[in-house]
Structure 1
């Protein structure tokens, strides 16, 4: 095998593409293709509403025409602040067809987050839900939005539920009053009164922004990753190569649990289904029981989710009453999938599960385990086609490291963002010499498979040794009484900082500190064993199920500050 041949090549399915001829194209062209070739295929299934691809394209182009009539110009930003609903899908495609840049917005944002988000992105339009209006309306002047389009739950339903739902909501006090004025605040339905349709194609997809996707804000306020049509269409072509599918050779239906406002949910549950002319089933509010019933009724084949979702389904007491073998293909991301849980889900479904690494700044997938080929337990897999990956030294970020040496993972590829919106200094430091510095500590084995050790910012130094909390987390998840666990380095008045583990026991289980410490000592070097254990009913998580180490660290810093104030 010569130096240019990747070490992982013998371990993937025969015939799987290693190189691709990436063709930059607009995202909306995929919707057009689905409507033209597979117009009768179901595109959206929600409650008693079903839209086929022909209808979805028509609604998107009508919505685009209405945006233009209300003053949208090419390149303007449109913020979409909605849960997983049919309206979210229509608004996303409609905004793109109108020539806008989409700004997906977390509906759970509060005042401080909203004002930062909108002052940074400066969207001209906001598409939202009446249930959020009491939060938005007092901030309207500060948000600087020209026009708010407000939808209701009933807009996602067909007759007779679209008539019955508002009546029931009003009785229960869940129908907020919105004062529509026909100009700055307009109802969703009014956007479909125009007889015009509009669809605009970017002249240069590789340079035209499709999405301002805001990062989770692991430090300070979130930043807007500038993702072009070229970035996102490249990612789609890469994903098709990874899953070995296209619209002509597959018949899939997607269970859409991951939030659409997250890039993982957006690409995996709105864009990818359209590319495959497949149906997507939006789930606006996650309930394990409701999802199991949805699987029972509609038999979805494709599941995109975070490990916490897969695990919560398996923890349902009546899981054995449900047949999950309809699920053929799963993509897991956002956080590591505990090994025992991954195997359990595969045993229940017999599905192929691919786990990999994704970043907002990379549209998002850069590395994945082969769907058909060698999947290494604990590995994030191998680079997806046309993606270059290096492991470099942590100190300078310039020296390449060899196999089994831990360093920072950096990447380069057509899916990598243009930069951060209004953040030239952050862009320069993150995209150094054209390479995206991920902040992830990783290593590559002799087969060319990559393993994440931890986040660079989460690395702790204990007694002069580097300690990666993720290694401790993996050990804790092996303990049979533990449901969830996470560790981090916290301030300590004597040691400066020390390791602490937060534990959520399984229902009905009691765990002592001494037994946990003893277990950890059998698996870890003594300096890696947490000095403090705290038991909790739950851990703070993001909307995509990622445990928020940042929130726990802030708690500890607040405690230390309060203790110091008491002394003073």
Structure 2
């Protein structure tokens, strides 16, 4: 197989690295043994070193074990970035359990779908989610744990479990990193086409290793702090932020929600050196009046993903901070990183870069997905590497459709130039990515159809300079019915997470269809794009 990207590998970066066969808990264990006094977690006024973090994880693991949590059990974690999230995550890994990732913004019905599909038997959430969680588990026997709460007959207190636990007492499981699932990472919403990606310990550990060797190995770790803005419940925040920080035995600064003013204040105070974010975050920071060179000069390296970052934004951000922004690419199915612009080599703005170590890629024809295409031609992007998922949870059909002969069919359309740099040109799938969130149109459409006034509905993404994409809906009302755009949005917000609610709702007398009555989603999408381009 010809790999033209190898020519552009930075000097000293190996094209193939030997990756140890390790569990995820071994990352924290090694940090504790080798650097116990290094700062591990900064969360508001709280600063934990690796010794403190390890002992709290061990105590929680002991309490969970005493309450019946065992190897292979699944815990759904519905928490924003915090010391509590990190403690729960590693306690589950310590016991050989499986973390089920959940966005804390999910509604009770969305969480219910997630719990049922994943077969999670434990849930941990913040106290303000208690009512929502109780509604979500009405049809399931699930143990509940709440942060900053007292124990009750139906739920345990996170803090009390740690206080009651005895470090080093929990039984140590025998883990097969290549086969045992560490995380169930759902690809988008929790209904419709959403799928639970089975990521093994070795999948995730491999991707940490790949990120480390390709991007940050040569960086000076002195005073290094990683800004944890990307959500840990998202595969990117989990691997490329949280776990990479633990692997480097450096500090991760927990940011529960992105808000430009408070984030700039935090950057001034804590002086982070690494920052990973989506385009929306970079645009918001730059447009804030307090985004001065002095405020952001501690940043040395920034990562960008989920959507293309405008060249103007990259140049302005780098001018203000002196930091380098590297664009890349990944998926939930690949733990997530597959491509990255190199730190020390040639950077091509607008490209997703070149494959990280131990990763092979092909561009194949869209029709059959068999013929490898020459440089410059657009086709479906295929990926092979140790970071590629084990499969989809309880979904053999989709697993077989996506994984063929060792290759992952991404569904994304791309091209490769003569230097081996890749460019994403569109999505074969209908997935919408807005501000880094994955949204499936069918899920939103189903909720539209729950409204008594809606006859037909179609949802799709349109380009947005701020969010990457934004959600657009076109609807047809039932004869004699009336409803306003604002009334529909209120209806949707009660049933969907706020980031899934369309920014635009257009009322039409009819929708374009094929001869057999299928709505022509792409035709509508093209029409709206063309209309926006003429404005």
Q: TM-score, normalised by structure 2?
A: 0.81
Q: CA separation in 2, counterparts of 1:227 and 1:484? A: 28
Mark the CA change 1:486 to 1:264 in structure 2 (over 3 Å): closer, same or farther. closer
Determine if contact 1:391/1:407 at 8 Å carries over to the other structure.
yes
Question: Shift of the alpha carbon at 1:200?
Answer: 2.9
Partner of 1:513: none
Question: Shift of the alpha carbon at 1:268?
Answer: 2.4
Q: CA separation in 2, counterparts of 1:267 and 1:491? A: 37
Determine if contact 2:40/2:246 at 8 Å carries over to the other structure.
yes
Partner of 1:239: 211
323-332 vs 292-301, which moves further: 323-332
* Residue pairs, 1:164-563, within 5 angstroms: 180-182=151-153, 184-192=154-162, 193-197=164-168, 198=170, 200-217=172-189, 220-245=192-217, 251-320=223-292, 322-458=294-430, 473=463, 486=469, 551=502, 555=505
Question: Shift of the alpha carbon at 1:489?
Answer: 9.5
Partner of 2:147: 151
Question: Shift of the alpha carbon at 1:47?
Answer: 1.7
Q: 1:23 aligns with which of 16, 20, 23?
A: 20
Q: Give runs of ≥4 in structure 1 deviating > 4 Å.
A: 246-251, 483-493, 550-553, 558-564
Question: Shift of the alpha carbon at 1:217?
Answer: 3.9
Three-state SS of the structure 1 residue aligned to 2:226 is strand
Determine if contact 2:472/2:502 at 8 Å carries over to the other structure.
no
Mark the CA change 1:431 to 1:544 in structure 2 (over 3 Å): closer, same or farther. farther
Partner of 2:95: 98
Q: CA separation in 2, counterparts of 1:299 and 1:236? A: 24
Mark the CA change 1:137 to 1:249 in structure 2 (over 3 Å): closer, same or farther. closer
Determine if contact 1:258/1:544 at 8 Å carries over to the other structure.
no
Q: CA separation in 1, counterparts of 2:207 and 2:469? A: 31
Question: Shift of the alpha carbon at 1:85?
Answer: 1.2
Determine if contact 1:247/1:276 at 8 Å carries over to the other structure.
no
Q: CA separation in 1, counterparts of 2:406 and 2:222? A: 36
Q: 1:40 aligns with which of 23, 37, 41?
A: 37
Q: CA separation in 2, counterparts of 1:544 and 1:447? A: 42
Determine if contact 1:259/1:544 at 8 Å carries over to the other structure.
no
Mark the CA change 1:136 to 1:233 in structure 2 (over 3 Å): closer, same or farther. same
Three-state SS of the structure 2 residue aligned to 1:142 is coil
Mark the CA change 1:414 to 1:335 in structure 2 (over 3 Å): closer, same or farther. same
Mark the CA change 1:226 to 1:247 in structure 2 (over 3 Å): closer, same or farther. farther
Q: TM-score, normalised by structure 1?
A: 0.76
Question: Shift of the alpha carbon at 1:251?
Answer: 4.4
Question: Shift of the alpha carbon at 1:350?
Answer: 1.3
Question: Shift of the alpha carbon at 1:560?
Answer: 5.7
Which runs of 5 or more structure 2 residues have no equivalent in the other structure? 432-459, 477-492, 514-535
Are residues 1:134 and 2:106 paired? no
The alignment's C-alpha RMSD in Å is: 3.0
Partner of 1:500: none
Mark the CA change 1:559 to 1:264 in structure 2 (over 3 Å): closer, same or farther. farther
Question: Shift of the alpha carbon at 1:219?
Answer: 8.3
Mark the CA change 1:221 to 1:10 in structure 2 (over 3 Å): closer, same or farther. closer
Are residues 1:80 and 2:51 paired? no
1:471-525 deviation digits (Å, cap 9, x = unpaired): x95xx85xxxxx66758998799xxxxxxxxxxxxxxxxxxxxxxxxxxxxxxxx
Which runs of 5 or more structure 1 residues have no equivalent in the other structure? 153-177, 460-468, 478-482, 494-539
Q: CA separation in 2, counterparts of 1:51 and 1:324? A: 24
